[in-house]
Amino acid sequence: MRIDQIAAGMTAEFSKTVTEADVVMFAGVTGDFNPAHLDAVAAEKGPFGGRIAHGMLSASFISTVLAMRLPGPGTIYLSQSLKFLRPVRIGDTVTARVEVLEMMAAKRRVRLATWVENQTGEKVVDGEALVMVPGQDRQ
């Protein structure tokens, strides 16, 4: 999507149920083998009383929305702020959402509110992103 096709208030989302395989593969890709994510016995003794998904796994679904939905293919991430508000557990269904806050057309930049909610509508991640939108020569 080009900058001239984007307007403040536009929204997009992506939903996914977090699986055991997602957590294990994310650990393998990132090297984050924290027992809070992978060791049920150790995680039971932790602050959440059981295993939780990586916070960055949940946050990465924001990237999915930006890259595939709004603004879409060709979008380049420039910055992202994140606050992790609640744990996500294996089996939770999360929905990453973005909303266009501001366009800076001259530099093809878009500022967006970003957040992730669980299946009960509670925010688990909150933040803001700045992205660069493809030029006129790319769709």
Confirm whether 8 is domain-assigned.
yes
What is the model's pTM? 0.93
Query: Is the residue at 79 inside a domain?
Result: yes
In a domain, 111, yes or no: yes
What is the pairing mode between strands 123-132 and 109-117? Answer: antiparallel
Residue 55 placed within a domain:
yes
Per the domain annotation, does 139 fall within a domain? Answer: no
Strand, helix or coil for residue 4? helix
The total number of structural domains that make up the chain: 1
| Domain span at 38 | 3-132
pLDDT single digits (tens) 26-48 = 999 999 999 999 999 999 999 99
Assess if residue 60 is contained within a domain. yes
137 found inside a domain: no
Q: At residue 138, does pLDDT exceed 80?
A: no
pLDDT at 139: 45
Residue 109's pLDDT band (cuts 50, 70, 90): very high
User: Can you tell me the distance from the alpha carbon of 136 to that of 2, in angstroms, rounded to the nearest whole number?
Assistant: 6
Give the tens place of pLDDT for each residue, 51-66: 999 999 999 999 999 9
pLDDT band for position 137 (50/70/90)? low
